[in-house]
Amino acid sequence: MPQHVRGVVARSKGAPVTIETVTVPDPGPGEAVVAVRACGVCHTDLHYREGAVNDDFPFLLGHEAAGVVEEVGPGVTGVAPGDFVVLNWRAVCGQCRSCRRGRPQYCFATHNATQKMALADGTPLTPALGIGAFADKTLVAAGQCTKVDASARPEAVGLLGCGVMAGLGAALFTGEVGPGDTVAVFGCGGVGCAAIAGARLAGAGRVIGVDLDPRKLALAADFGATDTVLASDGDPVEAVRALTGGFGADVCIEAVGDAEVMRQAFYARDLAGTLVQVGVPTPEMRIDLPMIDFFGRGGRLRPSWYGDCLPSRDFPVLVDLYRQGRLDLDGFVSETVSLDDVEEAFGRMVRGEVLRSVVVL
Ligand SMILES: NC(=O)c1ccc[n+]([C@@H]2O[C@H](COP(=O)([O-])OP(=O)(O)OC[C@H]3O[C@@H](n4cnc5c(N)ncnc54)[C@H](O)[C@@H]3O)[C@@H](O)[C@H]2O)c1
Ligand SMILES: [Zn+2]
Ligand SMILES: [Zn+2]
């Protein structure tokens, strides 16, 4: 029997979100219905509401979530009812040209549920990032559910589903930070602070947080930055060089999504250093660099989608590190709110007052 639940919907471009009755179908082959326990509020949800992702309104928002599998469809063997899971937007297909070459973390044909959730009048909904978890229950592809330790706090581990994983992975997997490396993270929001935590986990020596907002620099220090740079206090490139013996950092991570910051991160690298781009640019952003600077400095320029993570490999390990007290996921949860508070939470996010507001169901 299809179920009727409450969900947060963006009906049209720029309009405030509304709470609607959402019809969740029974899971079909390869699908699962998940009872959502917690879901973080991410910039991407706001981008959907503003029409900046695509025009497939109405959207069912929410995608950084943890919950309990309620029912699975025919043929599902990876998860079972009762499993505590973190939802992901990289359910790998195993068959595309990237998966076949042993690089599932770049899968070019990831799975989502095939059936549609809908409004009460039958209008099909587009779930944000194929998840749609600002709802009591959601329908996903079973591969989007990664089973993790059931004793973990849903508000904290659900954040691994998007921004926190993107930041951790930008340092651990894309940047390949290693013991003793110097790392500079530009932008210390949720993603940047996670990159700082990832650099610390990887054994980095000096970890420098750069931001325009002193509140974010205080959080960067909480997550393990050894030094912080207020970007408005002069040239951040010079500041990073001064903190690294005049050379620059081995790994610079751009976690803002800004052309000028990208340029700074490029020049704040040491010779043969790595630039990781995890901030998402808009289509009109441009950078203009002398080719000789690119060639002459050597190193690597690496965009990072979802931190190059593989949820089945990484989520359980990161949840274990969290439970052992070695990864502070609780620190990303600035506040817990209800489904009715998502619009207000967008405001706090835009004003820089929170790392993450988390909806608890
Ligand atoms: N690549 C991925 O898979 C992925 C996944 C999730 C999010 N993201 C992107 O990561 C970026 C950061 O996300 P977030 O949730 O941390 O956002 P956020 O708004 O919480 O953080 C951005 C931070 O950048 C700071 N900032 C702004 N301008 C700056 C400047 N000129 N110099 C230094 N700092 C500056 C802000 O003060 C803020 O602290 C966004 O672009 C987001 O879309 C990427
Ligand atoms: Zn694939
Ligand atoms: Zn997100």
Q: What is the pLDDT of residues 164-192, one digit of tens each?
A: 999 999 999 999 999 999 999 999 999 99
All domains of the chain, ordered by start, with CATH? Answer: 3-161+328-360 (3.90.180.10), 167-304 (3.40.50.720)
CA of 129 relative to ligand 3 center, distance in Å = 8
Say whether pLDDT at 283 is over 90. Answer: no
Record the tokens describing residue 146, joined without a space: 């990664």
Among 45, 261, 280, 304, the mutation site with the greatest number of ligand 1 atoms within 8 A of its Cβ is 280
Is the distance from the beta carbon of residue 320 to the nearest atom of ligand 1 less than 6 Å?
Answer: no
Say whether pLDDT at 235 is over 90. Answer: yes
* Closest ligand (CA of 305): 1
Give me the pLDDT at residue 159, please. Answer: 98
Q: What is the pLDDT of residues 67-110, one digit of tens each?
A: 999 999 999 999 999 999 999 999 999 999 999 999 999 999 99
Is the distance from the beta carbon of residue 189 to the nearest atom of ligand 1 less than 6 Å?
Answer: yes
CA of 191 relative to ligand 1 center, distance in Å = 6
**Whole-structure pTM value:** 0.97
CA of 45 relative to ligand 3 center, distance in Å = 7
The rounded percent of the chain whose pLDDT value lies above 90 is 98
Say whether pLDDT at 37 is over 90. Answer: yes
Give me the pLDDT at residue 244, please. Answer: 98
Give me the pLDDT at residue 282, please. Answer: 87
In whole angstroms, give the CA distance from residue 72 to residue 333.
Answer: 30
Sequence-ordered list of residues with C-beta below 8 angstroms from that of 185, at least 6 positions apart, any chain? 171, 192, 195, 196, 199, 207, 208, 209, 210, 220, 225, 252, 253, 255
* Closest ligand 1 atom to Cα of 163: 6
* Closest ligand (CA of 128): 3
